[in-house]
């Protein structure tokens, strides 16, 4: 069976990576491996926006995807964008094999509040399940408690839980069972 590979893009706190490793294994049931850390994504930097292009980072990750990777999942501290939005918490290829999240706006410090490691860990788990869920074909869920519901703000992230709703969970398990090599990937935040 293939593995889901986690990749730190730039410097990322090891405690965050370890926690995601455990949660990804629990939710998706794949063996979870680590890639070598990716360097700072200077190639994706947009100086006008002072942000990093999530789509460019995804493409770079796909180039370096290990042969036995079901999916490669990037975690970065850099603030990410796509052209039509001021920022994104993450980006994934729907039914594809790459996704990335940014921790930048999941930190309380971003909102001028005291750091809260437990909250950061929980938010990063929700956004990881969300973006990896897209790579397994899950779409946005109407259940506001479900991690597959769309978050445009940190309040939305905090309203969600860490557990997939019954429906998303069912679809995920069917997809994992049916999944085979050919992917027709499109990008979705
Ligand atoms: Zn759901
Ligand atoms: Zn989404």
- Convert the pLDDT of each residue in 143-182 to its tens digit: 999 999 999 999 999 999 999 999 999 999 999 988 754 4
To the nearest whole percent, how much of the chain has pLDDT over 70? 95
With 0.85 as the threshold, say if the pTM is over it.
yes
Task: Kindly report, residue by residue over 26-45, the tens digit of the pLDDT.
Answer: 999 999 999 988 999 999 99
Helices (H), 29-178: 54-63, 117-135, 154-159, 166-178
pLDDT, residue 180, reads 55
- Give yes or no for residue 80 having a pLDDT over 90: yes
Hey, what are 78's tokens?
């850099």
Q: Which ligand is nearest to the CA of 130?
A: 2
Ligand nearest to the CA of 147: 1
C-alpha 174 to ligand 1 mean position (Å): 14
> Hey, where are the domains in the chain?
3-139
Residue 183 clears pLDDT 50, i.e. is over it: no
pLDDT above 90: percentage of residues in the chain = 91
pLDDT score of 185: 55
User: What would the two tokens of residue 180 be?
Assistant: 């085979």
Question: 148 CA to middle of ligand 1, Å?
Answer: 5
Query: How many CA atoms are closer than 13 Å to the CA of 118, on its beta-carbon side?
Result: 0
Confidence class for position 187, pLDDT limits 50, 70, 90: low
Proximal ligand: closest to the CA of 141: 1
- For residue 96, the CA-to-ligand 1 centroid distance in Å is 19
Which helix (H) or strand (E) segment holds residue 17: the answer is helix 14-28
What single-letter DSSP state applies at residue 142?
A: S
Residues annotated as catalytic are 131
Task: Tell me what the pLDDT averaged over the chain comes to.
Answer: 94
pLDDT tens, position by position, 46-57: 999 999 999 999
**Distances in whole angstroms, Cα of residue 135 to Cα of each of 43, 107, 114, 158:** 24, 25, 33, 22
CA 171–ligand 1 middle distance (angstroms)? 9
Instruction: Say what the alpha-carbon torsion angle 14, 51, 128, 77 is, to the nearest 10 degrees.
Output: 10
pLDDT tens, position by position, 91-101: 999 999 999 99
Q: Are 168 and 133 in contact (CB under 8 A)?
A: yes
Which CATH architecture does the domain made up of 3-139 adopt? 3-Layer(aba) Sandwich (3.40)
> How far is ligand 1, taken at its centre, from the CA of residue 162, in Å?
11
Q: Closest ligand to 143 CA?
A: 1
* Cα of 133 from ligand 2 centre, angstroms: 8
């Amino acid at each position: 069976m293939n593995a889901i590979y986690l990749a730190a893009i730039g410097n990322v706190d090891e405690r965050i990576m370890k926690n995601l490793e455990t949660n990804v294994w629990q939710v998706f049931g794949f063996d979870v491996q680590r890639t070598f850390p990716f360097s700072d994504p200077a190639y994706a930097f947009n100086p006008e926006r002072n942000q990093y292009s999530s789509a460019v980072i995804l493409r770079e990750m796909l180039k370096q995807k290990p042969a036995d990777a079901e999916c490669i999942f990037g975690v970065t501290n850099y603030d990410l964008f796509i052209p039509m939005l001021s920022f994104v918490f993450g980006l994934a290829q729907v039914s594809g094999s790459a996704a990335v999240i940014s921790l930048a706006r999941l930190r309380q410090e971003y909102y001028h509040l005291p750091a809260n490691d437990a909250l950061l860990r929980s938010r990063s788990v929700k956004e990881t399940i969300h973006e990896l869920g897209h790579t397994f074909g899950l779409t946005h869920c109407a259940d506001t408690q479900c991690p597959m519901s769309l978050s445009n703000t940190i309040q939305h992230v905090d309203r969600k839980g860490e557990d997939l709703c019954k429906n998303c969970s069912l679809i995920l398990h069917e997809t994992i069972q049916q999944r085979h090599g050919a992917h027709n990937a499109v990008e979705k935040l």
